[in-house]
Structure 1
Amino acid sequence: MPLRNAHPSVRAGGAGRTDEALPPPAERRSPRPVRGSRTERLAPYVLIAPTALIILALRLYPLLLGVNFSFTGDGERNGTAVGVDNYRELFGDPLFRTALGNVGLLVLLLPVAVAIPGLLATFIYLRVPGHRLYRSVYFFPAVLSPVIVGAIFNLLLAFDGPLNAALSRAGVSPVDWLGDPDVAMFAVVGVHVWATFGMALVVFLAGFATLDSALLDAARVDGASLLRVIWHVIIPRLTRTIQFVFVTTMIGMLTSMFGLLYVMTSGGPEGSTYLPEYYIWIQQGQMNRPALASAASTVLFVIMLVVGLLQITLLQRAGRDD
């Protein structure tokens, strides 16, 4: 019986195969993608143009001016090119070297500052009893002014304050939290973490909203412990959120501790709590050395850039390994 709907070549060849009559898939013409109009192609650039111009005018241009100003002199040499003299003076200043050492301490403590809100967000996401109350309580310190936080902890951490009184009742000798050079920086960093981790907690909770709950249910069915769930399920799925929190927390620790330092220690004792931002303020506001302050600002920017890129690279590798 003849094939009515067969290809002409099939009908002509009798019992020939249809795949020989049709061209191979590679030779078939695929439909060309429909290109949008010129207006549609330009629309994304038009939308980001105002933000790009604002960043260029208010961020990048002043940054370049500051870098250029750091190669000029102060005082009698104001406005004259001095090369790298400001940078030589910076790295020869014991206070600035102490500030750089404290930056290294902050980098080492950064995982702890990120892990605390991450763990608390995990507990809240798993709906521990009272999780709604904890969410509000943990975020509350983030709305307080650093001056208020510093004043509160000055009272709590005073040598004759309530914390040392509680330690004395427990048989522990009192600690000079803000007067001991070996302890003061840890105390200030601890207060800063307590005052700011609420914002990171909110970011982690937003990341948990994108997590597939079926993965957690499967892990529970398999009998995985909480630590295994965190390490093998939560962390790999929240890699980008962790990257964001790492970078923003680092920026906050390097650029947002001035209020606490000013109220709690004023850079003391013996300059042990100096950070680059406090050093910049001293040189600019008290010593009237804006060029040297610009050099310190440039060094701080480079440190933040390098540390941020290293953190993102390490976290991306960890995410690929998992």
Structure 2
Amino acid sequence: MQTTTSATPAVGHTTLDEVLRHPEGHRILTGDRPTGPLHLGHYFGTLKNRVDLQAAGVELLLVVADYQTLTDRDRADRPAEAAEDLVLDYLAAGVDPARATVFTHSSVPALNQLMLPFLSLVSVAELSRNPTVKDEIAHSSQAAVSGLMFTYPVHQAADILFCKADLVPVGRDQLPHLEVTRTIARRFNERYATELFPVPRPLLSDAPLLLGTDGGKMSKSRGNAIPLGATEDRTAKLIRSATTDASRHISYDPEARPGVSGLLRLAALCQDRDPAAVAAEIGDGGAAALKKHVTEAVNEYLRPIRARRAELAEDRTLLRTVLTEGAERANALADATLAEVRHAMGMR
């Protein structure tokens, strides 16, 4: 892992099991960009864990990062509707809006004002060598890199620190982003002789990286994902198009057979089984039998989530209410934190 500065110590991470054993006193900030429907990679990578954490009693804040949709595109596509669709996926998956704070970037002005002092705490060189930013740039649809994309990790730091979250669920590929937040928290505290910000720790889950239908990382922007809200027929079509290989015997070997192993992993997650056991069951059935098995497992697992999603979609008033009430709670936190920042900086 490449960190943002050589002087930064290694990140000490926390596991999901550790937090679930002692959920009290933790505040977790996480979220998504409303750039399209959530998919199985989101669900097994983070969303299911969020629901488990909330059920255990952890305080959960979910940011619908509507401003960050502009990092890799010229304009947001139907931003209000896209934000509601994201909330729809959250609620269908089990997020309880009475216990979670769900809000949009654009509805919390004080959060975004924190960007200015935070930008003064990191160098251009530190931002330019962030590997996650490099990856975003590589997959951007823009001809040139915008300033917002370049400062994306700092905006994410504002997301995390405005509410003083102590844990942030991330995949290993997102650790460099979080290291920017940790650096900003430490440097602010040191520069202004305060203990205002906790230095948040990454919360790593055991969920494996899910591959998309093309064999690459499952991603909304790469068009290789299986959306949570897809119909059963659409799901079957997507899985039939998935990349496998020429060998008829099905075996679990992520290094040598990434496409086959990715499908086995997906079925295993849906059935709470070991992927090698799923492979042994299919045996010499070939890719057709594998894809049929995966399709049935995915559709069976998602059936109650999809039913709940369809029910919620009939009245979008609830989705808007969730965002309105979440914005009220988030604004109270952000206003208080911004006042503390101004006081520490002598700007009262």
TM over 0.5: no
More strand by share: 2
**Range of TM-score over shorter length:** under 0.3
TM-score normalised to structure 2 length: 0.23
Larger Rg: 1
TM-score normalised to structure 1 length: 0.24
More helix by share: 1
